[in-house]
Amino acid sequence: MKIHLLGGFLGSGKTTAIQSAIRVLGDQGVKCGVITNDQGIRLVDADLFKQMGVPGRQVTNGCFCCNYQDLESQIQSLIETEQPEIIFAESVGSCTDIVATVLKPLRRFRPDVRTTLSVFADGLLLHMLLVDGAELFEDPVRYLYFKQLEEARMLIINKVDLLNPGQLGDLKKVLEEKYGNSLVQFQNSQDKDSIGRWLQQLDKIPSLLIPESLEIDYDIYGAGEAKLAWLDQEMEIESESGGANLGAVDLIRGIFHKVTACKYAIGHLKFLLNGKNKISFTASSPRSFSIKIHPAVSATLLLNARVQTEPETLLQLISESVREEEERSKISIRIRSTSAFRPGYPIPAHRIG
């Protein structure tokens, strides 16, 4: 059996890569399972995997490292009930130091399982940070972001389809200087062939190759996580005139525009409309999106926002957007659940240095 861990910042494309990989492997008759992870509980991506029919488990309320025993139990439960050949475990995008706190413990406690770690980075965002010198993130968030890349032995530069040849060339040069010792893979996770190459690389990594644990200052790492606001919200939208879906989409646009107008760096702003359509924005994503919608008297919307600001500020911004949309579209929006917080200080259960 194999466990492929995925790390890397919010919105870098981990879930997309797992979904594509499971499709590719499914065509080959390989049974896969997935473990999702987040500081929150009501997650867009967990719902999507369920909808795909992928056997899945969740580690919620904190990262894998701080909930190692829960991760272990979820792996055991997947193995016992589903017998997958491969488990993909996606770590929450604000987490780093995974080699010391997850990969090495897994190799110690499950020596019979082949375990790998791939760290994902959004190529366009990385180009903005390393080549353009964009100052998107506050210092401790930047520290966390680059610590994730530093510990990668397998670094996936994702979303290469969004880079033009000039940008790709510049990025390759910088990466060669900074991460020349890592295996750097340029990928489009929406593309089957590209995903196939990643899966081949995962099979080639020698099992005895154990990456080095990071040297890391937990106070700065913890401060970086605490600079990010987490907000999860479930909403029900109603419109007697059939405008519920349209209202939901306008609300999504409204929230995105408010966040960008305030210049809050977006980690990941994700929406799930009616339990099936994922609409997501990251620091690098295009400002517009299109989605086919039908008239409906009611709609549901699940929101997972991870944004560099205070949770209270984010909550206020979203409440304002909701109020404005209700007035503008003459719809009614009922909030079914809300959870707004910043991640707690990381205290890993194990750390193998």
Ligand X SMILES: Nc1nc2c(ncn2[C@@H]2O[C@H](COP(=O)(O)OP(=O)(O)O)[C@@H](O)[C@H]2O)c(=O)[nH]1
Enumerate binding residues for ligand X (CB under 6 A).
10-16, 93, 120, 158-159, 161-162, 188-190, 268, 280, 282, 285
Query: Around 224, how many Cα atoms within 13 Å sit in the side-chain half-sphere?
Result: 25
Choose the stretch contacting Mg ion; rule: CB under 5 A; options: 39-47, 116-124, 142-150, 183-191: 39-47
**Shortest CB 123 distance to ligand X, Å:** 8
**Shortest CB 84 distance to ligand X, Å:** 20
> Hunting for tokens 């510990």 — which residue is that?
151
> Hunting for tokens 């969004």 — which residue is that?
162
Q: DSSP character for 62?
A: S
> Hunting for tokens 């996580």 — which residue is that?
225
SS3 of residue 107 by DSSP = helix
* Other CB atoms within 10 Å distance of the CB of residue 56: 22
- Give which of Mg ion, ligand X, none residue 309 binds (C-beta under 5 to 8 Å, depending on kind): none
Residue whose beta carbon is closest to Mg ion: 15
Q: Are 158 and 13 in contact (CB under 8 A)?
A: yes
| 325 touches Mg ion (CB under 5 A) | no
- Give which of ligand X, Mg ion, none residue 91 binds (C-beta under 5 to 8 Å, depending on kind): none
Binder to Mg ion among 15, 74, 101, 158 (CB under 5 A)? 15
Segment holding 169, helix H or strand E:
helix 165-179
| 38 touches Mg ion (CB under 5 A) | no
Choose the stretch contacting Mg ion; rule: CB under 5 A; options: 12-20, 155-163, 320-328, 337-345: 12-20
Q: Are 195 and 267 in contact (CB under 8 A)?
A: no
User: Measured from the CB atom, is 244 or 314 closer to ligand X?
Assistant: 314
| 94 touches Mg ion (CB under 5 A) | no
User: Measured from the CB atom, is 100 or 279 closer to ligand X?
Assistant: 279
Dihedrals phi, psi of 272, to nearest 5 degrees: -120, 115
Which residues contact Mg ion (rule: CB under 5 A)? 14-15, 45
